[in-house]
Amino acid sequence: MYKNKAIEHIVLFLSIVIIVLFFVFGFEGYYGWDDMEYAQLAYQWATGKFDLSQNHFSYRHPIILFTGLSYKIFGLNDFSSALPVMLLSILILFLVYAALYKNDTRIIVTAILLTLLMPIFILYSHKLMGDMYVATGIVGSFVAYYFYRFRS
């Protein structure tokens, strides 16, 4: 078995850099109604004017909470809107790495690159939508099951 932790860490670091660079150079604005609604509700939460209304978007608490927290820390801008989702994207890459940590380096590098370069992953890695929150939950569930079943 070929094991080179330096290469694994370099690939993981470069993957994080690619996610950030894709936001810096590939941010094409907001996708549609959802992200604008989340941004408005998160701003309301950050300024203390949040109201649970008949708007069904206001019940998606993790998106509003983390984005509102980002608005409180960094102000109202595109980076603050994208930061929580970029952190979730990076968390998914770390979960893939954690699940495959004891495997061959070639398997780990391939898995990280396949995850990173999936069009749906990289395109939604900075969008203010619920998709990356759901993906993080699903990947986290699979990794938790994997650790429970095969690593205990």
> What is the DSSP annotation of 123-150?
HTTT-SSSHHHHHHHHHHHHHHHHHHHH
Q: Which helix (H) or strand (E) holds 61?
A: helix 61-74
Taking residues 20-39, report their average pLDDT: 86
Q: Give the pLDDT confidence of 95-140 residue by residue, as tens digits.
A: 999 999 999 999 999 999 999 999 999 988 998 888 999 999 999 9
pLDDT, tens digit (0-9, with 9 covering 90-100), for 30-50: 777 888 888 888 998 899 887
Query: Model confidence at 55, in pLDDT bands (50, 70, 90)?
Result: confident
